[in-house]
């Protein structure tokens, strides 16, 4: 090992927010580091970002370091870990490593997006081991809420890191492998320098219930249902799809899949063997022909997504599917922070139609896929890392995770945020530098920087609308015709009954005429004066200042 070689870690996303996970590990001396990237996730935008669908980590730094970047390893196929791959991979064209289920989902997703890149995938078996430059990477199976979640044991000449990915401890996960406790204990015996781990549920006491407990509850709720039953869940939760399918089979109901995302996952799960022994799902066309007590609908839309199946059903706007009074809808899910209002809207839509809605507030119909405090303590006990770095959380989650680690006897706990470069070895761990990090937005079909003004402009327009003023000015500095004023998203009449369009018009003309004749031939100066006057006049009339756009024509 080169005397000045160090092992570093930096989160480029996911440390400070839930979502858009992207971590990098580097080894080498400061000027010749080689890198691997772990995960390429998205976060979902809420109403605070009008018109934006998805948020992605800014990969400027990876583009700068492209020639030293050895590969990307995907831990699992949740959107917050692999959702940015199709959009961002063409900028890096780096080798990608994934397990079979994740790889199959990438292919299925690509087929659904015309023009998406054909990414060559290196498929790694579960528990597999491979080498990228100085990094010796071994997968360790973790129970989670999707098949094939993997932790990464990353061995380097400077020490070994466990990057947990998303995990929980569930000895009976229903589908897929349980968390590989033996391998984690062996890592503890071998010696683990640092654990970089999931903080999502670090403020919840105890242990998560098992998927098997949820399956039992769902089976009972489906068995006693008098009429139709619909279950909505995260499409990628294959264990939940199995639980519903088995419960349906036990009371001779057919399972109809409603929603494209779920059809896609079901197909991939079928191809990769995760639905072996489960009856075939029926397509949505047969829904109307099945008697109410012979059907269970599995629907997308558990997050209140307005275009998903359940939202459309709740608004009685689905072409093939309707529910009616006495039917039962089970939310086998929990609203991701930011989606609560949308979910409540869907629930209210259903309840207003006389449909019974069951959620995890009253029944064990959902469990999270992330570790609670006792599970975090178990992991620390198995692996016994020297250093612990909380990631995958907002600052609150990460500081709670840090507290759990300190109480478990870890004295080197490092809190970090996106873009901070942390040295893990040699020497005391801590921040040594900052690297470029930030956010990208998917805006329609474009990827734009969050630093651009677009979204801020859109928010301003949403709050106070816009006034547009057009005027033609002659060479001598006279108005050549009547200025034109248009209001967009601005009230028509003020509190005194005056037309706001006229207020804007008067302010514009007055501002123009009070300018010295010489200045009136400078379009920039004219626009500036009118903008200021119109905004001030509307501020007085309305207590809000809209965006004002002035168009000056020289004639």
Element (H, E) at 468: strand 466-473
80 versus 443: smaller Cβ distance to Zn ion? 80
From residue 26 to residue 45, the character string flagging contacts with Zn ion as x (rule: CB under 5 A) and all else as - is: --------------------
SS3 assignment, position 490: coil
**CB atoms near residue 367 (< 10 Å):** 21
Provide the minimum distance between the beta carbon of 339 and Zn ion in the complex, in angstroms, as a whole number: 15
Stretch that binds Zn ion, among 71-79, 174-182, 235-243, 374-382 (CB under 5 A): 71-79
Provide the minimum distance between the beta carbon of 392 and Zn ion in the complex, in angstroms, as a whole number: 6
Contact 467, 549 (CB under 8 A): yes
Q: In terms of DSSP bridges, do strands 135-142 and 129-132 run parallel, antiparallel, or are they unpaired?
A: antiparallel
Number of residues forming the site for Zn ion (CB under 5 A): 3
From residue 183 to residue 212, the character string flagging contacts with Zn ion as x (rule: CB under 5 A) and all else as - is: ------------------------------
Provide the minimum distance between the beta carbon of 398 and Zn ion in the complex, in angstroms, as a whole number: 14
Stretch that binds Zn ion, among 70-78, 204-212, 315-323, 457-465 (CB under 5 A): 70-78
- The reply to whether 263 sits near Zn ion by the rule CB under 5 A is no
Stretch that binds Zn ion, among 73-81, 133-141, 208-216, 403-411 (CB under 5 A): 73-81
Stretch that binds Zn ion, among 161-169, 314-322, 407-415, 547-555 (CB under 5 A): 161-169
Stretch that binds Zn ion, among 78-86, 123-131, 485-493, 498-506 (CB under 5 A): 78-86
Provide the minimum distance between the beta carbon of 124 and Zn ion in the complex, in angstroms, as a whole number: 18
Beta bridge partners of 487: 467
DSSP 233-271: --TT-HHHHHHHHHHHHHTT-EEEEESHHHHHHHHHHHH
- The reply to whether 253 sits near Zn ion by the rule CB under 5 A is no
The DSSP 8-state label assigned to residue 4 in this structure reads T
| Residue 335: HSE in the Cβ half-sphere, 13 Å Cα cutoff | 16
Provide the minimum distance between the beta carbon of 350 and Zn ion in the complex, in angstroms, as a whole number: 27
Provide the minimum distance between the beta carbon of 21 and Zn ion in the complex, in angstroms, as a whole number: 6
SS3 assignment, position 508: helix
Stretch that binds Zn ion, among 72-80, 326-334, 479-487, 533-541 (CB under 5 A): 72-80
Beta bridge partners of 162: 153, 195
List the one residue out of 146, 365, 369 whose CA is nearest residue 247.
Answer: 365
User: In 157-259, which ranges are continuous DSSP H helix?
Assistant: 181-190, 211-223, 238-250
Contact 248, 255 (CB under 8 A): yes
Determine which residue in the list 78, 109, 264, 312 makes contact with Zn ion, applying CB under 5 A. Answer: 78
Determine which residue in the list 80, 138, 148, 180 makes contact with Zn ion, applying CB under 5 A. Answer: 80
370 versus 520: smaller Cβ distance to Zn ion? 370
Using alpha carbons only, give the angle 410, 415, 420 rounded to the nearest 5 degrees. Answer: 135
List the one residue out of 191, 171, 172 whose CA is nearest residue 181.
Answer: 171
83 versus 419: smaller Cβ distance to Zn ion? 83
List the one residue out of 483, 460, 458 whose CA is nearest residue 545.
Answer: 460
- The reply to whether 334 sits near Zn ion by the rule CB under 5 A is no
200 versus 300: smaller Cβ distance to Zn ion? 200
Q: In terms of DSSP bridges, do strands 149-156 and 159-163 run parallel, antiparallel, or are they unpaired?
A: antiparallel
Determine which residue in the list 39, 87, 138, 166 makes contact with Zn ion, applying CB under 5 A. Answer: 166
- Which residues bind to Zn ion, rule: CB under 5 A? 78, 80, 166
């Amino acid at each position: 090992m080169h005397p000045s070689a160090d092992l570093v870690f930096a989160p480029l996303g996911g440390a400070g927010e839930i979502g858009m996970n992207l971590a990098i590990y580097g080894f080498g001396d400061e000027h010749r580091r080689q890198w691997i990237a772990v995960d390429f996730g998205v976060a979902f935008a809420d109403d605070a970002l009008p018109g934006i669908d998805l948020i992605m980590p800014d990969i400027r730094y990876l583009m700068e370091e492209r020639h030293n970047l050895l590969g990307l390893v995907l831990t699992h196929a949740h959107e917050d870990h692999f959702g940015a791959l199709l959009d961002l991979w063409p900028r890096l064209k780096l080798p990608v490593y994934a397990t079979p289920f994740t790889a199959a989902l990438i292919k299925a997703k690509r087929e659904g997006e015309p023009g998406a890149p054909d990414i060559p995938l290196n498929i790694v078996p579960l528990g597999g081991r491979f080498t990228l430059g100085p990094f010796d990477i071994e997968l360790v199976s973790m129970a989670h809420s999707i098949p094939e979640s993997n932790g990464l044991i990353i061995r380097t000449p400077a020490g070994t890191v466990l990057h947990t990915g998303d995990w929980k401890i569930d000895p009976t996960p229903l589908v897929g492998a349980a968390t590989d406790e033996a391998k984690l204990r062996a890592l503890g015996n071998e010696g683990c320098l640092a654990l970089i781990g999931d903080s999502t549920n670090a403020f919840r006491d105890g242990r998560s219930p098992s998927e098997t407990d949820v399956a039992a509850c769902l089976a009972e709720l489906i068995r006693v249902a008098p009429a139709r039953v619909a279950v909505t869940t995260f499409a990628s939760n294959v264990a939940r799809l199995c639980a519903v399918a088995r419960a349906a089979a036990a009371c001779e109901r057919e399972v109809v899949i409603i929603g494209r995302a779920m059809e896609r996952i079901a197909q991939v799960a079928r191809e990769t063997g995760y639905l072996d022994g489960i009856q075939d799902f029926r397509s949505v066309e047969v829904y109307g022909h099945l008697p109410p007590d012979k059907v269970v609908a599995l629907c997308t839309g558990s997050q209140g997504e307005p275009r998903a199946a359940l939202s459309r059903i709740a608004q009685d706007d689905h072409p093939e599917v309707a529910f009616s009074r006495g039917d039962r809808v089970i939310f086998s899910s929990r609203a991701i922070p930011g989606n609560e209002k949308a979910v409540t809207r869907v629930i209210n839509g259903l309840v207003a139609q006389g449909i019974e809605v069951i959620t995890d507030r009253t029944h064990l119909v959902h469990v999270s896929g992330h570790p609670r405090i006792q599970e975090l303590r178990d992991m620390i006990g198995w692996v016994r890392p020297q250093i612990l770095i909380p990631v995958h959380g907002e600052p609150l989650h990460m500081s709670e995770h840090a507290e759990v680690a300190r109480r478990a006897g870890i004295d080197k706990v490092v809190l970090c945020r996106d873009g901070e470069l942390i040295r893990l070895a040699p020497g005391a761990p801590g921040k040594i530098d900052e690297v470029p990090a930030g956010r990208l937005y998917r805006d329609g079909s474009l990827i734009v920087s969050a630093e651009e003004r677009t979204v801020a402009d859109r928010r301003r327009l949403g709050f106070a609308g816009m006034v547009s003023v057009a005027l033609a000015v002659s060479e001598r500095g006279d108005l050549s015709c009547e200025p034109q004023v248009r209001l967009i998203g601005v009230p028509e009449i003020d509190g005194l009954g005056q037309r706001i369009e006229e207020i804007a018009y008067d302010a514009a003309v007055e501002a123009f005429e009070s300018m010295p004749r010489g200045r009136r031939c400078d379009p920039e100066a004219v626009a500036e004066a009118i903008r200021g006057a119109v905004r001030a006049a509307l501020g007085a009339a309305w207590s809000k200042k809209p965006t004002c756009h002035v168009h000056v024509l020289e004639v």
